[in-house]
Structure 1
Amino acid sequence: MDGYADTYYARTLSEAGAHPALSGAHEADVAVVGGGLAGLTAALELAKAGRSVVVLEAERIGWGASGRNGGFVGPGYATSHAHITRMVGRDNAQHLHRLSIEGAQIVENNISSLGFADQKLVHGKLSVLRYHDPDGLARRRDLMEKEFGYRLDLMSTEEVRTVLKSSKYYQALHDPAAFHFHPLNYSRSLAKALESLGARVFERSRVVATDFDSAEKVIRTSDGELRARDVVLACGGYTDNLVPRLRRSILPIATYVLLTESAPDQIAEAVRTPKAISDNRRAGDYYRLVDDGARLLWGGRITTRTSEPRRLAEMMRQTMVSTYPQLKGVRVETAWSGLMAYARHLMPLIGRMQPGIWYAYGFGGHGMNTTAIGGKVVAEAILGKTDRYRLFEPFGLAWNGGPFGTAAVQLTYWTYQAMDLARERRSARAA
């Protein structure tokens, strides 16, 4: 796959041309370390403002979670609005949620304004309950309308089961503004747009040393050196120990995705909507039709260590079949994993570490919108336009707890799974 993991997205890339590795001495106004969506969005905003920008990617553009995810774009964060409100208060929580809405709009606007011909958007996302709670969903719908003017449609159990032929599902909220698309094509399109604005993009250019103590920052790779006034660090779940403080603030969490074989008739018996679907469980299932309904792309499960994707894929296939017995016998064609960066507080890590050193990472499995807003607010700060990045300051670079933090995450996940299962069983008994 030319340096990419064997994913559906790598198999269906519209263009896979490589960018050169950094060689020799270079200078720029801003150096961006990390060729994922946060770094690319920051670079694009800076390049559009006339700054000279260099992007350094250790592997390939979009190689990490940015190019391996489910491709869902909609507002929100990895934690709930209620939890954010408890942490920072109502007013700041509202500002942060509006930023998350803006992040989704940034992605859609980029596709429209930059003429990304290889992007096909499919609008609509269903967030489905696996237990009976229409009143709770109605309250959520009303809150989003009242506080943000954001429309969500409540679907009854009958309406849900008309398009999702599963007895596991009850009510749902439909977000007509959310959409799904091909994230790796989008990542590579951003890089292409950057180059058209005069920015330089380098792949296979892992940073091996830095000097951030002077006004002019120095970044070194194995074959080159880059000097810049500002540096944006955006390495996501693959952040290494080059900047120990950043690495100690995240927990790399593995998630898994499978792609079924082509089985259009069987899949049509189960899933009868082109919209994106996710359930309400913590680290629950998310899936969508691809290849015009011929295949199903299905994601879910998290672990604190990377396991062999095929083994986890079989577990996910069993979950898929338990949800849709119609899919029994449908084989897994390929499966892959990727690392997401979670902070202990489950909010993105966006801010300034010291003069001239900025960071945007830790998007925790809800990155398609938050990478966009993270990149934008960091770029705005560098340009002196706004200080909106300060909305994320209350969350900060908290220590991840080391091995104890990893164990706590896994135990928390298992606890949520047990709670979800108990609630589903109660609902099934009451039906």
Structure 2
Amino acid sequence: MPRYPDTFYARTVATRRDRPPPRGQVEVEICIVGGGLAGLTCAYELARAGRSVAILEAEAVGWGASGRNGGFVGAGYSRGHASIARAVGEDEARALHRLSIEGMHIVSDMIRDLDVAASVSPLPGKIAAVRYDSGDRLQRTRERLARDYGYEVDFWPREQVREILRTPSYHQALFDPNSFHIHPLNYARAIAEAIEAAGGLIYEDARVVSAELSGAQKRLVTAGGSVSAQHVVIACGGYTDNLVPKLRSSHLPIATYVLTTEAAPEALAEVIRTRAAVSDDRRAGDYYRLVEDGARLLWGGRITTRTSEPHNLAAMLRQTMISTYPQLAGLKVEMAWSGLMSYARHLMPQIGRLGPGVWHCMGFGGHGLNTTAIGGRVVAEGILDATDRHRHFAPFGLVWNGGPFGTAAVQATYWSYQLADWWRERKTA
């Protein structure tokens, strides 16, 4: 049986089954390295198109960030729209944002088409709250989304926000009824079963130890077997190792943290009066939602370049939670966990072609559930020669991560953001 880190999602996973590693030689048209949501979505698109495809997953399907995240499905990227527009121009920035909206639809369509709503538990709505007075900016954002994309969100003034979220920490908010939140591990495993039903192969406990990627026929070697393919897709996210050094040196594995509380439905209903997901505007902000029909609170936040799990993880996250909701000071933490996201220095997904027949699809930190979906689709379209939409991501390529200096710079930048957030909130308290 596949083993997962002890998380809320692993404890409530809908299906479990053994998927042995490859034995001997396997030949397919496309081999995907990484059984996270990017690799799974890509494989599903290819298998539906009648192509022979295999996934090599070092652990188990959805073992990494794909099965440990907050479960939020919303539009956008980790990098803000204005910054993207400065880099590539307004027209291209709009095209990228439309792709991110399509990524949301891929997830919702998949849940519907696979008939897995019972296990994936999609719930609508996301509240994006601000911790300082910023009503004018939110109104402009709402108007831009409606004008440029026909994407309607609601502006909530302070009184409305504080009636729903019983904390003085928040000022205004945008409520997005189009966004939703899900059980990401059950979603990943549902896609895996659909791939196999379409004839695709999935191998777990199948870490790739060497790769020959230069010829027309690629070869990926595991401990007990090998897979030959005409196309290879590397989709390992924050767990990318040195199999392809250029990829490993182009991203930073960033840790994020999540907890779930003990069951306390009455206490939670008093302070969080919504089943919508919630996030704030901090650079590495808090995000949370009620789970198990409102019985527990799932709370995530903080980032660090430290890839090992802090010994005081639960206490650290709990302090952040009760600083926002002091009413929950008596609530105990039942479990806490971490996961590694893949970030590039430019904060955009890294999607494209490394060379003939070799593709990469990674760098989804912070907005993974929609961007892994569109990333997997556009890479599949490229392999099928159906579209070249992957080229929209070409300006955000495989830039060097800076090595140890890059890691230190990212951590220092995060601390500076924390300081800026504190000062901004203090001025408007």
Q: TM-score, normalised by structure 1?
A: 0.98
The answer (yes or no) to whether the contact 2:313–2:337 under 8 Å persists in 1 is no
* Cα distance, 1:309 vs structure 2: 4.6
2:428 and 2:82 map into 1 onto residues whose CA distance is 24
Compute the displacement of 1:307 (Å): 4.2
Q: Deviations over 1:57-101 (max 9, x none)?
A: 000000000000000001000110011001111111010000000
**Residue 113 of structure 1: CA displacement?**
1.2
Provide the secondary structure at the position in 2 that maps to 1:118. Answer: helix
> Does the alignment pair 1:306 with 2:310?
no
Asked if the contact 1:269–1:326 (Cα under 8 Å) also holds between the matched residues in 2, the reply is no
Tell me the distance in 1 between the aligned counterparts of 2:315 and 2:214: 49
Pairing 1:4-403 to 2, within 5 Å after superposition: 4-116=4-116, 117-309=118-310, 311-403=312-404
AA matched with 2:164: V
Q: Distance in 2 between matches of 1:170 and 1:244?
A: 45
Q: Which amino acid aligns with 2:320?
A: T
Question: Distance in 1 between the 2:424 and 2:18 partners?
Answer: 49
CA-based RMSD of the aligned residues comes to 0.9
1:292 is paired with a residue of what secondary structure? Answer: coil
Contact 1:236 1:361 in 2 (8 A): yes
What's the offset of the Cα at 1:306?
Answer: 2.6
Mapping 1:401-416, distance limit 5 Å: 401-416=402-417
Amino acid at match of 2:216: A
After TM superposition, what 4+ stretches of structure 1 lie above 2 angstroms from structure 2? 306-310
**How much has 1:312 moved relative to structure 2?**
2.5
Conserved? CA contact 2:138–2:174, under 8 Å: yes
1:310 Cα deviation from its structure 2 partner: 5.0
**1:270-321: CA deviation from partner (whole Å, max 9, x where unpaired):** 1110000000001110000011111100000001013435513212211111
Q: Look up the equivalent residue of 2:282 and give its one-letter code.
A: R
Q: Which moved more, 1:264-273 or 1:291-300?
A: 264-273
1 CA distance for matches of 2:397 and 2:299? 33
Moved more, 259-268 or 273-282: 259-268
Q: Which stretches in structure 1 are left out of the alignment for 5+ residues? A: none
Contact 2:2/2:17 (CA < 8 Å) preserved in 1? no
The Cα shift of 1:119 comes to 2.1
Q: Deviations over 1:340-367 (max 9, x none)?
A: 0100000000000000000000112211
Distance in 2, matches of 1:246 and 1:139, equals 38
Partner SS for 1:206: coil
TM-score by length of 2: 0.99
In structure 1, C-alpha distance between the alignment counterparts of 2:169 and 2:311, rounded to whole Å: 25
Distance in 1 separating the partners of 2:209 and 2:305: 26
For residues 268 and 124 of structure 1, what CA distance do their matches in structure 2 show? 17
Instruction: Give CA deviations for 1:143-184 in whole Å, capped at 9, x if unaligned.
Output: 111111101100011111111000001100001010001000
- Pairs aligned (count): 428
State the 1:337 CA deviation.
Answer: 0.3
| In 2, Cα distance between equivalents of 1:425 and 1:367 | 31
Q: Could you tell me whether the CA contact under 8 Å between 1:309 and 1:336 is conserved in 2?
A: no
